[in-house]
Each structure stands twice: as structure tokens, then as C-alpha cells.
Structure 1
Amino acid sequence: MKQSKILIPIFLMVVIPALLTTFLTLFKFSATLDRKLSDAFFHLLPSHHRFSNDIVIIDIDEQSIAKYADHPELGQWPWKRHIYPTLIGYTKLLTPPKITIIDIMFTERSDYDDALVSANESLGEISHAANFRDGGIVIPRKGIETISQKFSVPLDTKIPFPKYENASFPIGLIGETAPMIHVVNVIADSDGILRRFSPFVRWNGLYFPTLALQAFALGESYKTESKDSNFYLLKGDVRRIVPVGKDGLVRSYFYTEEELRNIPRYSAAGIIESLEKLNSGEVEDPNSLLVPPKLFDGKIVLIGTSAASTHDDVVTPHGLFPGVIAQAVFASNLIEGHLLKELPESYGIGFTIIVLFVGVLILFINQWHLLKNIYPIFAVSLFIGTFYFLYRMDMVLSTYSFVLGFPISYLLGFAYLTYTEGREKRKFNHILRNLVDPEVVSVALENMESLKQGGEWEITAFFSDVAGFSSISEELSATDLAKLLNEYLSAMTKVLKANAGTLDKYIGDAIVGIFGAPIQNKEHPKLACKTALEMVTELENLRVEWNKRGDYTPLARAMVFRIGLNCGLAKVGFMGTDSLASYTMMGDSVNLAARLEAAAKDYGVSILVSESIESVCKDTFHFRFLDWIRVKGKEAPVKIFSLESFQKDVTSIMLDAEKEYELGFSQYSKRNWEDAIEHFKNVSKILGKEDKSSHLLIKRCQTLFQNPPPVDWDGVYTRTSK
């Protein structure tokens, strides 16, 4: 396809989808759309991480609130605070948990704060919840500076972790005596879905850990490190990379909905009932209790609520869940290293553009119709496979550019292809009437699309030219000249076509032919050699007929031609205008064949071929080595041969003469000019006639003897003319 014609498909299939994705990016729609689409893929693809075994939840659920609504010590929600030390103490009856993290706010005073203060001082690893917010009136509270300094984390980082204007820490002595404090804020995306969390948040120029980070740290010391645009948490031998985004949030791996619903959750009511039975002596063996204390041994315990009346629900990729479930997911992510790195949008866009460009080639360059139909399946499979491969490596490829761009691209491409194919068929029906070779017409009718498209593959280029035709034409009248050319060209073209050759064009008396196109044929070098030898025989027959009839002039009746053959890669296909075109060939291999035809004159041979012909045809045809030459326009030397005959027609005289010639060429290559000349002279003696090739080398040796070549001379003769 011409460059100008491929630009329209590129515009339709690449530029338009690219502009659409750019529009979405500029107007901030892409990030939300991307995350929605990736959620859908996560639901479809197999899960590869499991929720941490270290996390359990004490859940103040609907059953707990309903059961103790009339209890004098608890009452309706919110419960009196002395119940929390009871719950925490129960988990420590046997082996204590690693840490107890409370996901309930104690920012207002109550009559039972002393119980929590006592728990802070006696029950150990407890982390209380703080809540940050923007806006509102800042109410100064006693001790807030002390608490904020005590629990802030020194960070040396440029990562823009979420920043808030106001902070609510646990009230009074609860906050002052708390062993640890964590921030429970979560930040939903613009579509209201909670997918990401931050390990730290900022307030008043200070950094504070979130619940997930506290679960990771377990009250132990840890360090942070920012290096090479990555953020690291270091605790003991653990080095956890946290792929924080530009807004300070990291994408969470949300496991499966089934796993979220099966996170170990123990009803607060069950714990209270178990403790009452244990204290009353009704049950002596703790393991037979409704909620045995051993369930909390060495665990990370989260205390939260799932009751609707507590209004602590969030929207996750799996739907509505209690906030403590989302916090548990974030904690599991950080503990187990199940963090997703959202790759830059440019990765997804780049992938999509490559696929779209390949789609242009498939639709408008490729001629295999099946591939045009299966490529969408392949492209979608490739995208899903790439997405899943990266997902398994905890990386998220941007999806919106492909999901939107590829269908639009392929629909536009197919629409344009349908439109152009109808127009192309009409055009080529007209072109076929102007083709010379009937075989090309036949192939076109059977597979016009393949012929129209052309391609690049190995062919044999054929060039022939009549020697001294200018002199012949000067001696003939216009009528005789036309008659001579018609007879000659008709006979030669007949031989060409009889051997599956395609007539490219006539250039005066010159014939240009193609073997191996448009019908690809592995035997094209041998067919070209056979054609050349048969043309030599056919010209001899013409000369006999002309002499017999006495037609034309003696010079015309003695006509000889030269043929150049070379095989190699070439571009073949229709070239021309809408109204007049020809099937032709282009490429370095074609140019070399033309140069060989011209060089045949120097060596006095009828058929000059390259080594690429000789190497594949030497079993059937006999070739004579002539020289190493460097033709105009090519730096690489070419080994050339004369096509002498079929192998069955070789004589001992021919073999002896060629052996002597090769000995002479060997001495010539070694700069033994005199020895070379003797061998070259012997060639003519063996043949019983002057051998022009030997005579050419003799003159060259004499010249080099008088003017020695440079030290780096490689024995290759450089032709300065075409």
C-alpha cells in the first residue's frame, strides 16, 4: 500500500483512539475508569494471594448490640467503655495476641474512661484510633500537642501522603496513656469505591501511622526509606516495598469476596457470654467455650463494628462491607506484601498503540484473510495475558486505553476496508485489461487481493539486451525495424512465458522478466536459466530463418544478445496509475541483474549470472567461473559466472579450458601476473578460438604489472559504468 493510502488507516485506527484516550486523561476521567475496569478484570481472573492468617476481628455486630441493648452495664450503642478492657483482657487469658488494634473512636469524654486508661497501663500492646479531617472549627484540647509529638513518626520523604487540617486523638488520659495510636481515615476514589490506602497521613507538619501500618509494625521499631522513587518499610529482616502513587496512596489487593466474608470474626456477644460462663464456673475448660481464648493466641486482633446502627460501612470493589473489614484487608496487604503497583498510564497507552499499529498492518498490508478475522481474538488474548502476567507480579496495567481504543480502532478499520475494497476491485478490473501477460491476468482473477498487495520475496530477475542494436536500427527502415523487433520479441517472450516467466516490460529491444512472481515458485532460478539457454537456441533459429529468407541486413541477421540473471529478495507488485499499471519488481537484486547484463559484453558471453544463481542451479546447468567484480552502486564484491549449457551437454574441452582459466585466475589473485597471463593464453589454445574473457584478464594483468595495485588490493575488479 502506498504511503499516502496507509495514512488514512493509521489516522482512523491509531490517531482517533489515541485522541480519545488523551481526552480522557486530560479531563481526569481516565484514572477512575481505569480502576473500574481493573476491578472487573480482578473479578474475572484467578486470585493469587490469600488473606493473612495472623488477623482476627472482634466484631460488635447486630447480635451483640441487640442482645445487650437492655443490659445495665452496656446499654444501647455506643456501649459503655469499660467493656473494651473486658474484651481485650479476654484475648490475653492464654498466650496474648501480638497487638490489639481498636477501630472505634474515643474522642469524647465518658464516665468510664478510667477503665481504658487502666487497660492501657496494664494490658500492653494496644493501639487506639485517631481520626483526621478537613474543615470545621479547630477546638484546642489539653494535651494534644503532647500526644501528637509522642505518636508522630519522623519521615524524610517527598511523598505527598494525605494531609488533613484537623486531628481528633483519643480523649484525655486515654490518649496520653495509650501505648500506640493509629489513624483510621480511609480515602475512597472519586467513584466512591475504597481501593487504596496510605501507610501514613499528615497533620500539622507531622506524620502518623495508619491502622495498616500499625498492624505491620506490631509496636516494634521500624524505619522508612525513600530510594529510586520507591518507598520502603524496614522492620528487622523485613524490607517491604510500598508502591505509593503520586497522591501518597497505594492500591490494595482486595482478595476475593468469599475470603472477605470468611475473615475470622468473633462476635463480642460471644466473648462476653464465654467470659461469664468461665467466671461463674459453669465451664471449666476454656477450649469448650463458644469463643475459646486460644483463638487469639499470637494474632493481630482488630476490634470494630459491623452493625448497621454504627454507620461504619464502606464501598469496596466487592460491594458494601464494614469498615473494619477494609482495614483488615489493608493490614493483610502490608503484613504479607500483597500491594499492587499501578503502572503509569503511558504503559497501557503504549501497549495499545503497538497493538493498533499491528492491526493496521493486519487489515491493510497482510493478505491472509483468516488473520484479519482472528487478530482481534489474538489481540484481546494478548492483552488479557499481559494484564494477568503483570497482575501475578502485583502490577496493574492501565486498561482503559485498550478496552476503549481497540474496538473503536478495529470497527473504523473494517468500515474503511469495506469501503476501499469495492473501489479497488473496480480499479483493478480496469487495470487488468492493460496487462501484457495473460498468466498474470489469470492469477489476478483467482486471487486479485494477493496480486494487488504484492510483497517482498525471493525472485529471479531477468534482463536481456541486443548487442549493438543502435547500429542495426540505423541500417533498417522504420518498417523493417518494427518487423525485426516484432519477430525477435515475440519469439523471446514466447520462451519466457513457456517457462513460467512473467513479462515485466519491453524497453526498446530489451526484455525485462520476472521468475517466481506473482506465482511463487521455488524453481525460479532453474526456470530462468532454462529460459536463457532456450532463448539462445531460439535466436540461432531466427538467424537461420533470416539468412534463408535474406531478410534485413547482414548485421541484423548476425544479431546476438546478452542476458543477466540474479536471484534474491525483491519487492514485487503493481506499480503505475489507476488507469495503467504493470506488474514489476524493485530492489538491489534487480539492479544487480541489470548490471550483469551490461557486464556480459566485457567478457564476451551471452549469459552472465551471479553466484546466487550458480549455487542453486549447478546440478542441472553448467557454469564457468569468470571473475570477482564490484558493480556500480554496490560495495560488496560479486562472483560472476557464465551460463554455458545444460550439464548433459558439457564437453571435456570446456572443462579443460575452464580449469586452465581458474589456474590463471588463481595466479592473478596472488599477483603472479606473468604466470597468470600464460594460463589465460592457454585457454584460447584449448578452445581453438579467442576467448574474450581470457583476453580481458590478460590485458588487466599487463596493466597491473606496469602499475601494481595497493597492498590491500583484494583482486576484485570495480566496474565504473552501469
Structure 2
Amino acid sequence: MPPFMFDEIKNNNVIANAFLDSTKTDDPSLDDLIASGSVSFKTGMADYEFTSVKQLQLDLEDANKGSSDDGTKKALKKARANLGLLERNFLIISNLNRNNMIAEQRPMYFHYNPKKKRLAVGTDENKRSIVPFEFTGKKLYYGLTAAGTSDLNPMPFDSRYPMVGLHANALNTILDNRIIHEISKGWIAVVILGLGILLAFGVPALSPAMGGLATVVVVAGYTWLSFWLFSNKFVWIDMVGPLSTMAIGYLGITVYNYIQEEKNKQFLKESFGTYVSPELIDQMYDSGEEPSLGGEEGYHTAFFTDIQSFSAFSEKLTASELVALLNQYLTDMTDVLLENNGTLDKYIGDAIVAFYGAPIEIEDHEYWSCITAIKMQESLDLLRQSWQAEGDRWPEIVHHMQNRIGISSGQMVTGNMGSEARMNYTMMGDNVNTAARLESSAKQYGVYIQIANSTYEPVKDRMVVRDLDNVRVMGKNEPVKVWELISEVGKEPEKYKKILPAYHEALDLYKNQEWEKAIEAFKASDSLEDMFSGRKTNPSRIYIPRCEHFMANPPGDDWDGVWT
């Protein structure tokens, strides 16, 4: 037997005897056995004083690096190899002794790379060798794992997974009794049916936001439950069927609701399209507000307009001509009304009754009513031009058609009024009567747009007006401050840039009871007025006889400026 093999067997017997020594209470250590000289080992270094195996390993490595003699280096490498073999055998015998199997010690080697190094576990600093005994009582699988081998196949989480791992996992599942149980198809059908009922009856009963949130919560909860059951209880519950039911069902509900909303919007447009502008219908639908039956009180603007001296038209035109003319006029005026956020109340012959701010609230409705009145005058001027261009088709009275407008803002009631069999969305209230009176009284002043002070105040910085009067209108006890609406600021006709200063100067003299000066001033402003065909008077002419009246009947110092 070669010396190195004899020394190895001898040392193994010494180590085994040391473990079997009944006189010792503690297991021997390799450091003690080498220090005591019990085991045969040559360090390859002269006069070396041994302290520990770990220190010996470091000293052998340092000595090898510091030596330049080939013979010395060879001896040091041999010593390092023998020390590694001694450590291995000590570890094997130690494990065998722990399990009363020292007699079964035999050599066993493992290799993990071409350099034939033994298998090891741990990090570089804490690495230790694996000894055969560590496989005792274990199930060991050998398999190919290197790239390019034939035992790699696709798995759900890896496209090239070593099949030896699949078998190891299967054995581990069996040994640990972690068998995966699948929920039956019948129970999955019950779950799908339950989710379908939830989607059919539960989600539609909620608002769109809450319905979507509820669907997300159910989907997230079911997904979490599926993963939790699989991870903790080894129960596999189908996710595809129930989640597909939720996704497809909710998509179907969303599409169905969208179609229904479009139908409802179309129905609303068809129902209210002849009364309010399309923009207002969209806003009403988006806001979700419905006009309440019986009426609703609010701050709105009433709007009245009719044709000047319409009865004379009946005498000049046949019935069919009158209908054709009136339809053309009402169409153009209504288009202007609806384009500027107005709500058409009704037609009364040639008159148009409308209001602003209902059925839903409109911001700055006083301004929109004024814009509508100005645009109506512009549209009527275009109609007159077209009628005049048609020559003798229309009589002279049509060529010079004028309309008058009255506007008043304030509290009023709007809503569905009438009988249960027939209702009309309309307005009622004192301010409605005021607007109607302003439209009719505009004739007395020779003006065509007359607005109440309640309408004037919110728009006074954006509109050009003429201070008309402070009067008690028919049917009302309280005086009303009224104004003639001329145009938007910066868009007034050139003639009014001269008329208005002259007129307001005369009005100031009138309010100061300087009657003679006021008469002369009103005559001067009257000379600037445009007295076109059909206009029989103007505000300046109205005040001249008033001044003459007050000259003969002074109103007194406490006069409030009201004309009754």
C-alpha cells in the first residue's frame, strides 16, 4: 500500500477512535488532533508551530506565494492537498459518528466543473464541502441542466426549464402532501351564474361611476381569492370563465347604456328641439336635470316681440300670402332666439313669447336676451332687403316691416302648466307682465327695443342704451325705469353718436325742471332722429309736450321724475 494511502487510513482510524473514546465528554476537533500529533501530517514548512487548521491554510498559501524554489512550492502544494483530504475525512467521520455509522465510511467524490473540484455550498467566505453522508435519507435526482442539452422544455414561467426540476417538484408535492385540488366545473358554473345576476341586476341599479367601481372591486376580489386559495390552500379555482363573464358582461352593459343614452338624448331633442336650442338640450341632458311638473320659481328674463301694425298686413295680403310671410319671419326670428340660448314659449299670432334661464340655468341670461333683440333687428333688416328685392310681389307695408321687443328680468315661475291632458312649458309672474307691457309701450316712444332696469343693470357696461323714462306702466302700481337698447358697446350706428349726447343733455334739463331749455334741447335732438317710414314719433318728441304740461302745472320740488 502506498504511504499516502496508509497515512490516510491510519489517520481515519485515529479520528474514528477519538470519536469512540468513552472517557471524553466532548467530541474531538481536527485542531486538537493535529496539535497533539495524533494524526500524521507534514506542513512542508520548517519549524512551523501549529495553532489551527484555518491559520495553517493561510500560512501555506502565503508561503507558496513567497517562495521562488520549485521544490519548496511542490512540497507546499502537496501539504495543502493533504490538509484538504484530512478535513474531508474528518467531516465524513464526524457525520457518521453522529448517526452511529462510522463503520460505513468509504470514499465518495462529486464534481461540478471540468476542474474536478468537489461540490460546495455557501458563499466564498463561508463555503464548505458537501460530504456523502448529507445525502443519507434524501431523494437525489441527477439531470441535465446545461444550455444545449436535450432535457430542457417549456414551462408556464420559463421557456427552457430543466425537466429534472419538474420531477423533483412533483416528488416534493407528493412527500409534503401538497396536492392541488381543482374546483369542479359545476361550482364554477354557479359562480359564473352569480356574477351574471350581479351584472344584470346589481350594476345597472348603480350610477356609472359606482357600477364601474363595483365591477373593479369584484374582479380584484375574485383574482385575489384565486391566488390566495392556490398559494395557501392548494385549491385551483378557474379564473378565465368568471373573469371573462365580468369583462364581457360589463362591456355589454356599457354599450347598452350608451345606446340607451343616445336614444334618450335623441328623444329629448325631438321633444324640445322646437322650443330650445340644441346646445341647451345637450346641456340639459348632461346635467341630468329635468323640468319639474307644476313650475319652478327662479330668476329669469322674459322676452316679448311682435310686428308693428300687424293688423294692416291682413288688409293688404291674402291669407296664403300672410301665412307665407309670417312663417318666413317667425322662422328667422326663432332661429336667432335659439342660437342665443333662448327658450321658445309660444307663438301668439305674429308675437313671439320666450324666456331665458329655464328649463336649466343659463349664466348671464340678461346679456343673451339683449343680444337676441339686437340680432333680431339685424335679421329683420335682411328680410326687408330681400322683400324689397322681390319688387311688386309684396306691398309697401311689407318692405318697411318693423317689430318691437320688450325685455324684463326678475323672479318668475317656469314649468309645465295647463291641464293633465294638455300641458305647455311656459312662464308666469309679475316680470312676465312687465316685459309684455314694455313691448306694447315701446310704440308710445317710437322705439323698437325697450328693456327694464332689472335687465339693464347687469349689462350696462356692455350695451349702448338711451334713458327713456321712469313710468307707471299699465297694470302696475310701482314705477318702472325703462331704457331703449341701441347696440353693443362700440357697435352703435354713427347717427346715435350725435343723437344720444344731445338727447341726454335735454333729459337732464327736463329732470332739473328747466322746461324752456329742455324744450329747445329736445327739439334739437329731434332734428337728429331718423324718422323712417312707419316711425311716427321718437323719445325727443314725447318729452316736448311733457315739458309744456309741466310749465303750466309745475310738479313741485319733491317730484320723483315719474310720468303717470
**Structure with greater proportional helix content:** 2
TM-score (norm 2): 0.48
Q: Which has the higher contact order (CA 8 A, sep 6+)?
A: 1
Rg (Cα) greater in structure: 2
